[in-house]
């Protein structure tokens, strides 16, 4: 090797050594050691050696994905609005680095979807939506104060390339069914036929390891305070679909509308007294092959939170928290063996923290 090439490689080795020393220094100063280890591994890939040698920004202050995860990472939340808390929700989501985001309805709280769509620009490509009452202005008799907080669904349909308010898709071994509590859902409706066929097909598909349903209005509890319309819709929706969820072994039902976070025990439909669902597992946080879905309410995306006196205290709640904004994070093992759910309180924008955690195991 001539002197010129020897000098070139000496400079390269010294530059890489400096980069490694810098990253190790960050590791010792940062509690999230795994993140920096992943950055270190990525920085030594062939694609970044040249950047290290030439001192390019690509390698300095490196922001790169870590090693491939052994799980799929999903986030879900509804009732967003366009507030400072909405910004914190987006920041909280970005910290989870999810594969997919399930948005649970009630977005802009205005007669246009623009402000919410602008808010979620950093994560928009990952978002799948369900429709809430605030995206279905034509369905309700609104007074002069309510009307400005409602919009039609058209803008959202166009933005996300949808032809219907209910649809389904698969991500890995997870089947997602996106339902609508805002269009016809009774047993003789097109939506009911679609849902029944979709769940049957998913339950018979050997590649489907988990089935997750998402809709806007809550069915456990089937109301928000004393609002009669919520109770009517919630109960009808529950009586039509919870039996199907049991029959086709739905694992989770994600819902919003009520502005708090709540998680039920696994519940079976009670045909004798539907207002009193049957708890099939009384463990608070850990479930092994439970019977019946866990229903989660995540109406904590950014709009005004529900008052504690409006929050019904139900026997079937395993966890309930009022007065906090935050998101649900689901980690599902790629082999389909287990699921872990965590509610991350937005907290300080730089310090979201875990407030509730549960897990479900299917393979023991």
Residue-level pLDDT at 153: 82
What is the rounded CA–CA span in Å between residue 102 and residue 358?
A: 19
Lowest-pLDDT choice from 63-77, 273-287, 323-337, 339-353: 63-77
Domain holding 355, by residue range, is: 71-361
Residue-level pLDDT at 170: 97
Domain presence at residue 332:
yes
DSSP 3-state of 100: strand
Instruction: Assess whether pLDDT exceeds 90 at residue 74.
Output: yes
How many Å separate Cα 10 from the centre of its chain?
49
Residue 271 DSSP symbol: S
- 37 and 76 together in one domain: no
- 161 and 47 together in one domain: no
Domain presence at residue 205:
yes
Lowest-pLDDT choice from 40-54, 214-228, 315-329, 330-344: 40-54
Output the average pLDDT for the chain: 80
Identify the residue with better confidence: 294 or 220. Answer: 294
Number of domains the chain is built from = 2
- 49 and 76 together in one domain: no
Average pLDDT over every residue of 244-256? 97
- 77 and 131 together in one domain: yes
Q: What percent of the chain has pLDDT over 70?
A: 74
- 151 and 204 together in one domain: yes
Instruction: Assess whether pLDDT exceeds 70 at residue 140.
Output: no
- 7 and 96 together in one domain: no
- 45 and 79 together in one domain: no
Domain presence at residue 65:
no
Domain presence at residue 175:
yes
What is the token pair recorded at 109? 């709280």
Residue-level pLDDT at 329: 97
Residue-level pLDDT at 139: 67
Distances (CA, A) of 172 to 12, 17, 208, 270: 41, 39, 8, 32
Helix axes of 33-43 and 46-53: crossing angle, nearest 10 degrees: 80
- 212 and 318 together in one domain: yes
Tens of pLDDT, residue by residue over 142-164, are 554 565 677 778 888 889 999 99
Identify the residue with better confidence: 304 or 97. Answer: 97
Residue 212 DSSP symbol: E
Lowest-pLDDT choice from 47-56, 190-199, 253-262, 336-345: 47-56
- 135 and 86 together in one domain: yes
State the DSSP H helix or E strand holding residue 125, giving kind and residue range, or none if neither. none
What is the rounded CA–CA span in Å between residue 26 and residue 14?
A: 19
Domain presence at residue 346:
yes
Average pLDDT over every residue of 64-70? 59
- 35 and 85 together in one domain: no
Domain presence at residue 58:
no
Domain presence at residue 185:
yes
Average pLDDT over every residue of 157-179? 95
Residue 311 DSSP symbol: S
Instruction: Assess whether pLDDT exceeds 60 at residue 58.
Output: no
- 165 and 130 together in one domain: yes
Average pLDDT over every residue of 90-95? 94
Sheet holding 71-77, edge to edge: 127-129, 100-103, 71-77, 326-333, 338-348, 351-361, 286-288
Domain presence at residue 334:
yes
- 200 and 112 together in one domain: yes
Domain holding 171: CATH number?
3.60.21.10
Instruction: Assess whether pLDDT exceeds 70 at residue 222.
Output: no
Identify the band that residue 311 occupies on the pLDDT scale cut at 50, 70 and 90.
low
Instruction: Assess whether pLDDT exceeds 80 at residue 292.
Output: yes
């Amino acid at each position: 090797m001539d002197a010129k090439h020897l000098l070139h490689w000496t400079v390269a080795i010294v530059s890489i050594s400096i980069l490694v020393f810098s990253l190790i220094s960050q590791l010792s100063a940062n509690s999230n050691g795994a993140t920096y280890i992943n950055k270190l591994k990525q920085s030594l890939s062939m694609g970044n050696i040249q950047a290290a040698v030439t001192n390019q920004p690509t390698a300095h202050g490196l922001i790169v994905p870590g090693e491939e995860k052994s799980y799929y990472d999903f986030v879900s939340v509804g009732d967003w609005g366009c507030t400072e808390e909405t910004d914190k929700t987006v920041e909280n989501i970005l910290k989870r680095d999810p594969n997919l985001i399930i948005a649970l309805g009630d977005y802009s709280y205005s007669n246009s979807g623009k402000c919410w769509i602008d808010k979620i620009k950093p994560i928009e490509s990952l978002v799948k939506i369900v429709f809430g009452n605030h995206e279905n202005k034509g369905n309700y008799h609104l007074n002069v104060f309510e009307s400005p907080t409602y919009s039609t669904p058209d803008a959202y349909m166009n933005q996300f390339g949808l032809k219907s308010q209910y649809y389904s898709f698969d991500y890995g071994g997870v089947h997602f069914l996106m339902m609508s509590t805002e269009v016809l859902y009774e047993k003789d409706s097109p939506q009911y036929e679609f849902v029944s066929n979709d769940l049957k097909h998913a339950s018979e598909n050997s590649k489907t390891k988990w089935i997750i349903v998402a809709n806007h209005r809550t069915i456990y509890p089937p109301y928000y305070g004393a609002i009669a319309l919520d109770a009517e819709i919630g109960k009808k929706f529950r009586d039509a679909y919870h039996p199907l969820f049991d029959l086709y072994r739905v694992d989770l039902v994600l819902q919003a509308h009520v502005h708090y976070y709540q998680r039920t025990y696994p519940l079976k439909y009670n045909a004798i007294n539907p207002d009193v669902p049957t708890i099939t597992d009384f463990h608070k946080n850990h479930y092994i092959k439970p019977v019946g879905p866990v229903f989660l309410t995540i109406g904590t995306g950014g709009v005004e939170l529900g008052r504690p006196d409006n929050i019904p205290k139900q026997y079937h709640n395993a966890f309930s928290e009022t007065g906090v904004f935050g998101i649900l994070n689901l980690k599902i093992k790629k082999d389909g063996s287990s699921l872990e759910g965590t509610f991350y309180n937005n907290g300080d924008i730089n310090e979201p923290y875990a407030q509730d955690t549960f897990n479900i195991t299917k393979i023991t």
